[in-house]
Amino acid sequence: MIVEDMIELDCRGFEALVGRQVDGTLTTGEASVLEKHASSCETCRQRLDRLRDVDALLRRAQVPLPTKPEWDALLAEATRPATIRWRRIAAAALIAVALPVSLGVLCRPSEAQAGYDVLTPGLDTDL
């Protein structure tokens, strides 16, 4: 987007340029137009200030960039078909539900072990 010839920049145009400004990839003219808009628009000025603060924090944190193999692994994970991920999630959910239920059934004491009297239907117990 070339805005050097623009006299005014609206908020939509500001949004398109603000990320590039923080990255330092704007031309001098674009930066000038961006700063001019930010000085006259409170909302955009606050957004620019917040982005600059976040940028400064990230630069101070000195978080190492992922290596090429790490980027490749992240990209592969992000582009893997969603059906594979959903199958894994569904399998984990099934195990999470089935395991406690089956353990509860298998570990539940029988009526005889629990001390219950087992009555045969139709027999009178007051003999």
Q: Is the pLDDT of residue 127 over 70?
A: no
Check: CB of residue 3 under 8 Å from CB of residue 9: yes
Q: Is the pLDDT of residue 72 over 80?
A: yes
Please provide the distance, in angstroms rounded to a whole number, between the alpha carbons at the two ends of the chain. Answer: 99
The burial of 45, by beta-carbon neighbours within 10 Å (0-12 exposed, 13-18 middle, 19 or more buried), is given as middle
Q: Is the pLDDT of residue 78 over 50?
A: yes
Single pTM value for the model: 0.43
Which of 40-49, 71-80, 110-119 holds the top average pLDDT?
40-49
Check: CB of residue 4 under 8 Å from CB of residue 30: yes
> Which two three-digit tokens encode residue 5?
């010839």
Q: Is the pLDDT of residue 71 over 80?
A: yes
Q: Give the C-alpha separation, 108 to 102, whole Å.
A: 10
Cα→Cα distances 115→44, 83, 103, 109, 123, Å: 74, 50, 21, 10, 20
Q: Is the pLDDT of residue 105 over 60?
A: no
Instruction: Please state, rounded to an integer, the average pLDDT across all residues of the chain.
Output: 75
Mean local confidence (pLDDT), 67-90: 78
Cβ neighbour number for residue 1 with a 10 Å cutoff? 9
Please write the tens of the pLDDT for every residue from 1-36. 444 445 567 888 888 888 888 778 888 888 888 889
Q: What pLDDT, on a 0 to 100 scale, did the predictor assign at position 42?
A: 92
